[in-house]
Amino acid sequence: MAKNIMIVDDSASLRQVVGIALRGAGYDVVEACDGKDALNKLDGRKLHLIISDVNMPNMDGISFVKAAKQLPAYKFTPVIMLTTEAGNDMKQQGQAAGAKAWVVKPFQPAQMLTAVSKLVLP
Amino acid sequence: MMNMDDALNTFIIEGRELLEQMEEALLRIEQMPDDADTLNAIFRAAHTIKGSAGLFGIDHMVSFTHVAESVLDKVRGGLVPIDSELVALFLAVRDHLSLLIDGVAAATEPDVETTRAGEKLVDKLRTYLGQKPPVVSGPQTPVEHVADLEAEPGRGARSGDGVHTDNWHISLRFSPDVLRNGMDPLAFIRYLGTFGRIAHIVTLADKVPSLSALDPEASYLGFEIGFHTDADKATIEGAFEFVRDDAQIYILPPHSKISQYQDLIERLPPEELLLGEILVRCGTLSRAELADALRRQSGQGETESQQPIGEMLVEQHSVSPRVVEAALDKQKQVKEQRSSEGSLIRVNADKLDEHINLIGELIIATAGASLIAQNVNIPELNEAAARLSRLVEEVRDSALTLRMVQIGATFTKFQRIVRDMSAELGKDIRLDINGAETELDKTVVEKIGDPLTHLMRNAMDHGIEPAEVRLARGKPAQGTIGLNAYHDSGSIVIEVSDDGGGLPKQRILAKAIERGLVGPEQQLSDSEIYDLIFEPGFSTAEQVSNLSGRGVGMDVVRRNITALRGSVDIQSREGAGVTMRIRLPLTLAIIDGFLVGVGGSSFVVPLDMVVECVELSAQETEAAQGRDHLNLRGEVLPFIRLKQLFDISEPAVASNAGETEDGLEADKLSWRNRSTSSLLTQEGAAALASDPELAFLLNPVKRENVVVVQYAGHRAGLVVDRLMGEFQTVIRPLGQVFHGLDGISGFTILGNGNVALILDVAGLVRRVSGREGRRNSKAMSYVSSE
Amino acid sequence: MTTAAPLHCLAITGEFTIFTAAAWREQMLAALAAADEIEMDLSQVSEIDSAGLQLMVAAKREATEQGKVLRFSGHSAAVLDTLDLTDLSAHFGDPVLIHSAD
């Protein structure tokens, strides 16, 4: 059974590129365009990983992760945050929200694949 | 959208800051080598730089910092003592890192000289790690060399003390929280399989308790792995990048020197002393190699303390005193680590507040008990009560320090604001931070951010001139914004300064007159003029910019600061710049107060603002009558009569001539024990009492008590009836109804249940010093007109 | 070892991970309390992580402490893979179907 990954980012092209890379590697991918959209798509279905941008309209990544971690089905789901900031502040907020893994933008699709497979192999 | 360059810039700024902190800490550590915080600051700086450099793939920096960090780790573990030599070495390391960061900023690879200097430092550092400097044969490219420093896979000629295996050894211990954080240790091990082969693995399950004692969401497993791969160390390390904070990870390259295994044994907790055995089982060490390692080391060690742990090892292999000693060291180190971990507990701020509130109640209760003890007057009880008060005071002090945090983090955020603003304004502005380590109450820190931001924006927008103007004025083109913090008599002072044009006094005044804030004929002192910019709706910017707003804000700034029981004053020199000085109480919750009585009311003056208490003699009071200042040892001291200020009716004071005598009699009684000799004649008293202007003279004649207070360099006298002594008090905010009540900043409940109002000394002093300033400027204008 | 009465059986099904660890712990404790000899069937385990693995170790330990016999049986592919990865098969001492020789 393929592993499910959700990618949350307001950039459609980024979602596309990541989606292509992940699907190519054998993962199933759910896309969401911001935190709010993502939260709506958390329907209890098992997710093995969430990849989320921080800075997004409607609901930012940190608030989204915080909200997702309140749901029993996603309490322990690993999260990779995508960030342009190496700032500790943001990380601390993210960590507190439950995001422990960070990938700095910009990244190559292969880098993302590597990061993902450290947490979940296909 | 930001790009990698922006993030890299952040790293450069952050790195420089960290290095500054590191330098400070290094200079401090020699004086107090036992200070865990200072040592941690150094470690943290190195650690953070390493982590960030890794994020950007700046490998030479990562590997250099890594070695430094390893030494610091040993220092932290008490395995390496701090001496001036070590401090000097780390200062050099810091300087080298600074060079490397400059290189990153300039987007250049380190040159040969820099690389060589780095190598020398690494060699020196490695002597602390018990590693011999590697023999460097021939020139190597900088990156390769530095990256291999620790790894030294030694694929070529194997030196005699290397172990005989082609496997890497990976030692993994995870924090209990790793699973809760969504990370599965097994996932990382599985990932290893994607670029190599797990030759041997020993899963350490002995820490897993029985099911009834198991926390199902905590992690208990550890792993020792023999790993075969052609990948480099960075790749292996990379497998664990997401658990770096949640795990202890040690990676030893193939053919590592036996001393490095020794090192690994030393690093791991004592209950895992079977490690040598595990290494053998992993195929990392052969039994012969282990025995060899032990035998060869045995010559060096002392043989004293082998008794307790020895047994287990003796059973298993030819144990050496050296290993036992290492084990004991290990034990000590683990204990120390635990205690330093123990000194860092995250506590919910609410819990802390509750704790401090309770201590507040405790203080009040203790004051009540002391009062009763005094009334009952049993010596033993008095003594016990006194001791209790003292202890409670200590508890209070220690509790308050829990809330103290450094202002540095708040300051650091401004680097970014300055950078962004200067870009937006097209001005070249530098931020100069001082006193970042100054501590103050967390609540204050949280609330001061916005006002500070406003002042900074204002200084950058209106203060710093455009470069052409600056150059024309003979100043450097780059403007400087200063942020400075320091402690000053129970307050923290935060200064926002700029080296810009200074406040345009005339323009402010003109604007104020135009707005009707002051009358055209009014004489204002300089500071009063500057203060006008804090008036609501005041703006002098000829060009309203969208950054610092339209004059909205400065009044809010002052209001916010006043709400924190603080004040802000301005120093300005036209052409040279402005310093805004914010003065805040160190803490908001509890103060040492000085209790005074006026009529039937009690007031509390914050003790750290009390300079002295004086009794006014007849001559002095007489001289002071009709004026609002008196002569204190030749100095002009403006004063306030609290009785008048708060309109307190005083039954003891004669309100008309007929009652004067009774009033005097009563006062005579109450003042009998005082060395007061001057009483008015009856006629005189009657005459005075009949004159409403002079009636209050009756009181002063019998000597008045004046509490001299000082705030922000200004003194004032508060005239009161009774001095009731020092008193610890918990500040309670005034309710909405009393909000904005002049001269009062809060209230407290006394031990006997009565309410005492806390005087807003800052406000009172401002009130009278303004008066004084006006008078002075009036006097000056008289002089000039004469 | 062959079955002996009274034997209590618990089938662990689906996800045997951090998400379900707390619930499985309760069930496993109940099973251990129910009999002196317990068999836990792992054939329906679709997914197992460190949390599941720890539960197995802890349950075995608990059984030993209580002087009971606990057997894991029918290891699913997911379980086998994990035991293989961690080299813990011997730790449990349960007969494990060898799928392919290695």
Whether residue B264 sits in one domain with residue B201: yes
Q: In this predicted model, which residue has the larger pLDDT, B525 or B689? A: B525
Average pLDDT, chain C: 85
Q: Which helix (H) or strand (E) holds A41?
A: helix A35-41
CB B42 within 8 A of CB B20: no
Write out the E strands in B239-279: 247-252
Give the tokens for residue A89.
Answer: 């502040």
The two structure tokens encoding residue B572:
């300005």
How many Å apart are CA B158 and CA B239, to the nearest integer? 27
Determine, yes or no, domain membership for B681. Answer: no
Domain that holds residue B546: 405-585
Q: Which CATH number does the domain housing residue B29 bear?
A: 1.20.120.160
Report residue B599 as tokens: 């009529």
> Domain count of chain B?
5
Share of chain A above pLDDT 70, in %: 90
Residue of B429 and B56 predicted with greater confidence: B429
B528 lies in the same domain as B409: yes
* CA distances to A9, A14, A34, A52, B503 from A64, in Å: 12, 19, 9, 9, 46
Regarding whether B750 and B762 lie in a shared domain, the answer is yes
- B628 and B550, same structural domain? no
The mean pLDDT value for B252-259 works out to 68
Alpha helices in B494-635 (DSSP H): 505-514, 526-531, 554-563, 618-624
Mean confidence (pLDDT) of chain B: 72
Beta strand A28-32 pairing with B722-730: unpaired
pLDDT band at B739 (very low <50, low <70, confident <90, very high): low
Distance from CA of B4 to the nearest CA of A (A): 6
Question: In this complex, which chains have at least 3 CB pairs below 8 Å with chain C?
Answer: A, B
- Cβ neighbors of C85 (< 8 A, separation 6 or more) are B186, B189, B190, B193, B198, B201
CA distance C59 to chain B (A): 5
Decide if A76 and C46 are in contact by the 8 Å CB cutoff: no
The pLDDT of residue C18 is: 94
Residue A39 domain boundaries: 4-119
Question: Which of B293-297, B735-739, B772-776 has the largest mean confidence?
Answer: B735-739
Closest chain B C-alpha to C58 CA, distance in angstroms: 4
The fraction of chain A above a pLDDT of 90, given in percent, is: 41
Residue B276 confidence (pLDDT) above 80: no
Q: Which residue of A lies nearest to C14 if distances are taken between CA atoms?
A: A46
Do residues B394 and B421 share a domain? no
Question: What is the number of domains present in chain A?
Answer: 1
> What would the mean pLDDT of B747-771 be, rounded to a whole number?
75
Q: Do A118 and B6 touch (CB under 8 A)?
A: no
Higher pLDDT, C102 or B271: B271
Tens digit of each residue's pLDDT (9 = 90 or more) over B509-566: 888 888 777 887 878 888 888 888 887 767 544 444 444 443 446 777 888 887 777 8
Give the pLDDT of residue B783: 34
**B473 lies in a domain?**
yes
Backbone torsions φ then ψ of C64, nearest 5 degrees: -60, -45
Return the closest-CA partner of residue B222 out of B259, B258, B163, B267: B267
A106 in reach of chain B (CB within 8 A): yes
Enumerate the residues of chain C whose CB falls inside 8 A of the CB of residue A72. Answer: 19
The mean predicted confidence, pLDDT, of chain A is 85
CATH topology of domain C8-92: Transcription Regulator spoIIAA (3.30.750)
pLDDT at residue B369 tops 70: yes
Q: For B72-126, what is each residue's pLDDT tens digit?
A: 878 877 788 888 888 888 988 998 998 898 888 888 888 888 888 888 899 889 8
Residue B422 has pLDDT above 50, yes or no: yes
User: Are both B186 and B71 inside the same structural domain?
Assistant: no
Domain ranges in chain C are 8-92
Q: Residue B242 and residue A101: Cβ atoms within 8 Å?
A: yes
Range B646-664 average pLDDT: 48
pLDDT category of residue B753 using cuts at 50, 70 and 90:
low
Tell me the nearest-neighbour CA distance from A36 into chain B, angstroms. Answer: 21
Identify whether residues B600 and B567 lie together within a single domain: no
Interface of A with C (CB under 8 A): 1, 46, 72-73, 75-76
pLDDT in tens, B576-623: 889 999 988 766 556 678 888 888 788 888 887 888 888 876 666 666
CA-CA distance, B289 to B117, in Å (whole number)?
36
A1 and C46 in contact by Cβ < 8 A? yes
- B723: nearest Cα among B703, B695, B739, B697: B703
**Residue B147, SS3 per DSSP:** helix
Position with higher pLDDT, B285 vs B574: B574
Domain assignment of residue B260, yes or no:
yes
- CA B227 to each of CA B63, B283, B419, B541: distance values in angstroms, whole numbers, following the listed order: 21, 10, 47, 68
Query: Using a CB-CB distance cutoff of 8 angstroms, which residues of chain A are in contact with residue B413?
Result: 89
Neighbours of chain B (3+ CB pairs under 8 A): A, C
B548 versus C55: the higher-pLDDT residue is C55
CA A114 – CA B187 distance, rounded (Å)? 13
Cβ-based contacts of B2 with chain A (< 8 Å): 84-85, 105
- Longest C-alpha distance within chain C, in Å? 38
Which tokens in the block code for residue B472?
A: 């024309």
pLDDT band at B266 (very low <50, low <70, confident <90, very high): low
More confident residue, B275 or B186: B186
Q: State the smallest CA–CA distance between residue C62 and chain B in angstroms.
A: 5
To 5 degrees, how large is the angle CA B439–CA B440–CA B441? 140
Q: What is the ipTM of this complex?
A: 0.90
Whose structure tokens read 């662990």? C12
pLDDT at A116: 94
The CA distance from B573 to the nearest CA of chain A, in Å, is 37
Specify whether B185 is located in the same domain as B174.
Answer: yes
Q: What is the CATH number of the domain that holds A54?
A: 3.40.50.2300
**Tokens representing C30?**
């109940």
pLDDT tens digits, B22-51: 888 888 887 777 787 788 778 777 876 775
CA C12, C15, C21, C26 dihedral sign is negative
Q: Between chains, do B201 and C87 touch, taking CB under 8 Å as contact?
A: yes
Question: pLDDT tens, B238-250?
Answer: 888 888 888 888 8
Q: What is the CATH number of the domain that holds B627?
A: 2.30.30.40
pLDDT of residue B703: 64
Give the DSSP letter string of B159-203.
Answer: PTTB-S-S-EEEEEEE-TTTTTTT--HHHHHHHHTTSSEEEEEEE
List chain C residues with CB under 8 Å of A1: 46
Q: Quick one: how far is CA B462 from the chain centroid?
A: 30
C-beta of residue B706 within 8 angstroms of C-beta of residue B718: yes
- Taking an 8 Å cut-off on Cβ atoms, the answer to whether B208 and C25 are in contact is no
Contact C54 B190 (CB under 8 A): no
Give me the pLDDT at residue B723, please.
85
Q: Among residues of chain B, what percentage have pLDDT more than 70? A: 65
Q: Does C28 touch chain B (CB under 8 A)?
A: yes
- The count of C-alpha atoms lying within 13 angstroms of the C-alpha of C93, restricted to the half-sphere facing its C-beta, is 7
C-beta of residue B93 within 8 angstroms of C-beta of residue B63:
no
**Number of neighbours of residue B756 by Cβ within 10 angstroms:** 21
CA dihedral (B584, B589, B590, B591) in degrees, to 10, reads 20
Reduced to 3 states, what is the DSSP secondary structure of residue B15? helix
Q: Are residues B625 and B757 in the same domain?
A: yes
Q: Which residues of C touch A (CB under 8 A)?
A: 15, 17-19, 46
What confidence score (pLDDT) does residue B435 get? 86
Contact B179, C55 (CB under 8 A): no
What does the alpha-carbon distance between residue B757 and residue A33 come to, in Å, rounded to a whole number? 56
Has residue B312 got a pLDDT over 80?
no
Q: Select, from the ranges A80-94, B642-656, C35-49, the one with the highest average predicted confidence (pLDDT).
A: C35-49
Q: How confident is the model at residue C50 (pLDDT cuts 50, 70, 90)?
A: very high
Quick one: closest CA in A to C19, which residue? A76
Mean pLDDT of B266-274: 53
Disruptive mutation site among B191, B201, B204, B214 for chain C (greatest number of C CBs within 10 Å):
B214
More confident residue, B465 or B729: B465
Mean pLDDT (whole number) for B465-485: 89
In a shared domain, residues B125 and B188? no
* Cβ count near B137 (within 10 Å): 6
Are A100 and B7 inside 8 Å of each other by CB?
no
B187–A120 C-beta distance less than 8 A: yes
C3 in contact with chain B, both atoms CB, cutoff 8 A: no
- Using the beta-carbon criterion (under 8 Å), do C19 and A1 form an inter-chain contact? no
Does residue A25 belong to the interface with chain B, where contact is any CB pair within 8 Å? no
B410: left (phi over 0), alpha (psi -120 to 50) or beta: alpha
